[in-house]
Structure 1
Amino acid sequence: MADVVFFDLDGTLVDHRSAVLEAIGRIVRAAPNATAPPEELVASWWALEARHMREYLAGRCSFAEHHRRRLRSFLPMLGEPVPESPGLLDAWIAERYLPVFEESWRCYPDVQPCLEALGRLPRGPRLAVLTNGDPGQQRAKLARFGLLGYFEGVLTPTELGAAKPAAYAAACRLMRTDPAQAVNVGDMLESDVNAAARAGLTGIWLDRGVDFATGGPSPTADGAVLRIERLTDLPGRLPGTNT
């Protein structure tokens, strides 16, 4: 039996993509001076999120600054002026984006049944969340859905000093486990599964039928990849369990 199971959060436990699209969709549909159709603006916001999140994870800016950088590029597309003050950019995010984004968080229905089933396993594994997101925001998501109590830790780049993939080794050290005894479960085939395997963990791909980054069909995986379509399938697929 695995000693520790790490769970990705966005796209695995909570539907981050739908919340982003709902929040920014409301904003662009209400923008009278927008420079492009709503669907193009939504796609641009998503692309900017990915670009500036990578900068945050690389340590080139703070979490707040990654939002500001996104806005500096996006506001002209809305036909709005770009404030020079960082405080005004922060206020835009806090007042116009975050309320709808947070209101739109949804926990996948297979999450709690999976966690409860894992807790019933004889000599069941310890559980932790391993996410590249902001620690405060990620804990707020888990708290919203009553999930914090299932996990020994919520591990982010702030606690580990590194983002995925370097975070895998750091997370195993923090949890005092050997990577060979650890499992990582996530919806991103490369960063959650293949990268975890290269770090010595067992990667299990949660294929929810959609590519998190593009919204298109799931990527094609090598036949050797451990794949599940629902988290409720996980307890029977862990190393050391009978399938």
Structure 2
Amino acid sequence: MRAVDGVLFDVDDTLVDTRGAFAVALADVARRYLPHVPEERHGEVLATWRADAGGHYRRYTRGEIGYLEQRHARANELHRVFGGVELDEEGYRAWDEVFEAGFARAWAAHPDAADVVERLFAAGLAVGALTNAAVAYQTGKLARAGLERVPVLVGVDTLGVGKPDPRVFVEACRLLGTEPGRTAYVGDELDVDARAAVAAGLVGVWVDRPGSRRHDIPEADVAAARAAGVHVVASLTEVPDLLGVPTRAS
């Protein structure tokens, strides 16, 4: 394990429990727009949203479509799967107000996040965030979650593209004040976070929380990632020890 001078975090489902916030938002949406879907199926609604079968969010992170366009497309995709009406622009704006109110209301840090962040700061490491959403939006999210000490350095609106493009990792390191080879990137996605970080010259750490994967990942892919240099942890609490950060007592 290489020594590091800084740590960059992904935000959604790494520091912030975005999956939980999506569950609240989509339950609100389902009660309003998909009332025929029983509450016991709201988990399916969440899984469909997170899977994003049409790849709309990743098209957004590649700079191919705008944020509102991808969200509108995903809303209509969800409605098609569960028998909802097609949303025109006006209908989507009303839908998004319901979604966003529930989403923001439920923003909260993962239980393992705050203590780990403080431990890294206490050890003298530079700490920041690199995200595939807009900087201002994610800054507000971290503040709401009690993680305002972590600056959002680079978002998809910084260079017009997001992860896995290596340029965003390099730019985040520049703003953090560390060299890529001495910077760890910690995220919950194997491909766009950990493997992309390694490809950009950083130390890639994949947070594989039990039961949190958006889709099935073949074990052969995990083995290949490990062979490529990706470190795998089941919780953020493992990150300081992985990086050789001393305990507070020492």
TM-score normalized by structure 1? 0.82
Tell me by how many angstroms 1:12 deviates.
0.8
CA distance in 1, matches of 2:246, 2:51: 42
Map of 2:64 onto structure 1: 60
Aligned to 2:105: 103
1:82 maps to 86
The residue type equivalent to 1:180 in the other structure is: G
CA RMSD of aligned residues (A): 3.0
Kept after mapping to 2: 8 A contact 1:160/1:171: no
Alignment of 1:34-49 (within 5 A): 38-48=42-52
Q: Which amino acid aligns with 1:17?
A: R
User: How much has 1:88 moved relative to structure 2?
Assistant: 3.2
Q: Secondary structure at the match of 1:149?
A: coil
Contact 1:55/1:61, CA 8 A, preserved across alignment: yes
CA distance in 1, matches of 2:58, 2:182: 29
In the alignment, which of 224, 230, 236 is matched to residue 231 of structure 1?
236
Distance 1:212 1:136, change over 3 A: farther
- Could you say which residue in structure 1 is the equivalent of 2:199? 198
Structure 2: which amino acid aligns with 1:130?
Answer: L
Q: For each residue in 1:48-88, what CA deviation from the matched residue of structure 2 results, as whole angstroms up to 9, or x when unmatched?
A: 3772101211212211111111223333445443343x243
Corresponding position of 1:136: 136
Instruction: Decide whether aligned partners of structure 1 residues 235 and 39 sit closer, same or farther in structure 2, where only a CA change above 3 A counts.
Output: closer
Identical columns (%) = 32
Does the 8 A contact of 2:4 with 2:243 survive in 1?
Answer: yes
Q: Which runs of 5+ in 1 are unaligned?
A: none
Whether 2:29 is the aligned partner of 1:15: answer: no
- Cα distance change on mapping 1:101 and 1:176 into 2, 3 Å: same
Q: Which residue of 2 aligns with 1:214?
A: 215
Q: Which residue of 2 aligns with 1:27?
A: 29
1:25 offset after TM fit, Å?
A: 3.2
Aligned length: 236
Alpha-carbon offset, residue 103 of structure 1: 1.9
Give structure 2 stretches of 5+ with no counterpart: none
Amino acid at match of 2:95: W
The 2-side partners of 1:99 and 1:204 are apart by: 32
CA contact (8 A) 1:206 1:228 kept: yes
| Aligned counterparts of 1:186 and 1:76: Cα–Cα separation in 2 | 31
Per-residue deviation at 1:114? 0.8
- Secondary structure of 2:52's counterpart equals helix
Corresponding letter in the other structure for 1:70: R
Amino acid across the alignment from 1:162? V
**Aligned partners of 1:193 and 1:203 also within 8 Å:** yes
Q: 1:233 to 1:22 in 2, by over 3 A?
A: same
Q: Deviations over 1:74-119 (max 9, x none)?
A: 33445443343x243122111x211222222221111111111112
